[in-house]
Structure 1
Amino acid sequence: MPRYALKVEYDGTPFAGWQAQADQPSVQGAVEAALARLDPGFAAGARIAAAGRTDAGVHATGQVAHADLAKGWDPFRLSEALNWHLKPAPVAILAAAAVADDFHARFSALERRYTFRLIARRAPVTHERGRVWQVLNPLDVTTMRAGAAHLIGRHDFTTFRSSICQAQSPVKSLDRIEIEEIPLPDGTEYRFHLRARSFLHNQVRSIVGTLERVGAGSWHSDRVAEALAARDRAACGPVCPPQGLYLTGVNYPQDPFAG
């Protein structure tokens, strides 16, 4: 059975998350329903696998999944056919590629990249509603960067993971946190870019929620290091809402979509 990698973009607002659920809409369910219109295996209940299981309300611009199909497809025609059958769901197949049988969207990944968007302004957001986290007052990006620096490297991230996280170990290597400050006509947008081989459940949202407290002046930047060292969920700052979070890309030993 030929295997295909799919690069998937979606608005997570109407979904209960990526993972298929029996009684709630999911991104996985939407893609599998489209595949079922094209492939007998998926019509009989075959499943796809993804690089990351995003939570309810989380978006993606570069999710990757793989599917085993009963017959060979031209990758462009496959993506076009899937996009036709995905309508009107806010899900798009940006690219499809034939891959080797040992390619796995999750287990072959070397790095995952997330971006969190936060807008500070007094007036409610309108066009970006459901796609950013809004706070009312501007943040100090310098102190947030100082706080973020404590988290780079290999650490026990118990403080910054959900109490229901199923990962076997809380020890992860966080390779990068970059914070952009983008002036807007009526406020400021802050974009938090994080890169790691893998992330714990709610790790990004826990980190951003904590750094927002630093930027707001409620926490000193050194308190981030103290929270990390505590290895205690109670030491974490607030977990920010999901709507500002985007899975923006996944890296593999060879880019399946190159060329």
Structure 2
Amino acid sequence: MPRYALKIEYDGRPFAGWQAQADQPSVQAAVETALAALDPGFADGMRIAAAGRTDAGVHATGQVAHADLTKEWDTFRLSEALNWHLKPAPVAVVSAARVPDDFHARFSAVGRRYTFRLIARRAPVTHDRGRVWQVLNPLDADAMREGAAHLLGQHDFTTFRSTMCQAQSPVKTLDAIEIEEVALPHGAEFRFHLAARSFLHNQVRSIVGTLERVGAGSWPPERVADALAAQDRSACGPVCPPQGLYLTGVDYPVEPFRE
């Protein structure tokens, strides 16, 4: 059975997350339903695997999943056919690629990239409602960058880990965290770009929520280091809501997709 990798984009608002659930809509179920419409053999209890199980309300521009089909497909035709059957769900296959049988969307990945979008202004957001986290107070980007620097490298991230996290170890290596500031009418958007081999459950949202407190002036930047060293969930700042979070890319030893 040929294996295909799918690069998937979706608006997470209508879904209870990536993972298929019996009584709630999921991105996984939407893609699997589209695949079953193309390949009747796929409908016989087969599943797809993804690089990351995003939570309810979380979006993606670069999620990767793989599927085993019963026939060979031209990859362009496969993505076009899937997008036809995905309508009207806010899910799109932006690229498809034939991959080796030992490729696994989750276990073959060597890096994941997330972006969190935060808008700071008094006026309500309109076009980006449901796609960003909005705060009313202005934020100091330099202070947030100073606080973020304490998180780079390998650490025990227990403080920034959900109590429901199922990872075997809280030790992770944060390879990069960049904070981009974009001017808006009467405010600013802050984009937090984070990269690591893998992340703990709620790690990105916990980090951004903590850094927002630094940017607002409620925390000095060095308190981020103290919170990390505490290895205590109660030392974390607020966990920000999911709607500003995007899975933007997954890295593999050999890039499966060709532009």
TM-score tier, shorter chain, comes to over 0.9
**Does 1:158 pair with 2:181?**
no
Q: Deviations over 1:167-190 (max 9, x none)?
A: 000000000000001001121000
List alignment gaps of at least 5 residues for structure 2: none
**Does 1:203 pair with 2:216?**
no
C-alpha RMSD of matched pairs (Å) = 0.6
Taking the aligned partners of 1:186 and 1:80, their CA distance within structure 2 comes to 41
**Does 1:87 pair with 2:73?**
no
Taking the aligned partners of 2:94 and 2:201, their CA distance within structure 1 comes to 26
Taking the aligned partners of 1:40 and 1:164, their CA distance within structure 2 comes to 37
SS at match of 1:92: strand
Query: Where in structure 2 are the equivalents of 1:205-224 lying within 5 Å?
Result: 205-224=205-224
Query: Where in structure 2 are the equivalents of 1:54-133 lying within 5 Å?
Result: 54-133=54-133
- 2:233 is aligned with what amino acid? R
Give the alignment's TM-score, normalised by structure 1. 0.99
Taking the aligned partners of 1:48 and 1:186, their CA distance within structure 2 comes to 44
Match of 2:139 in 1: 139
Taking the aligned partners of 2:93 and 2:101, their CA distance within structure 1 comes to 21
Matched residues, number: 259
SS at match of 1:209: helix
**Does 1:167 pair with 2:167?**
yes
Match of 1:178 in 2: 178
Q: Deviations over 1:143-171 (max 9, x none)?
A: 10000000000000000010000000000
When structure 1 is superposed on structure 2, of 40-49 and 217-226 the one drifting more is 40-49
Kindly indicate whether the alpha-carbon contact (under 8 Å) linking 2:156 and 2:172 is maintained by their aligned counterparts in 1. yes
Match of 2:33 in 1: 33
Q: Deviations over 1:26-51 (max 9, x none)?
A: 00000000001011232222100000
List alignment gaps of at least 5 residues for structure 1: none
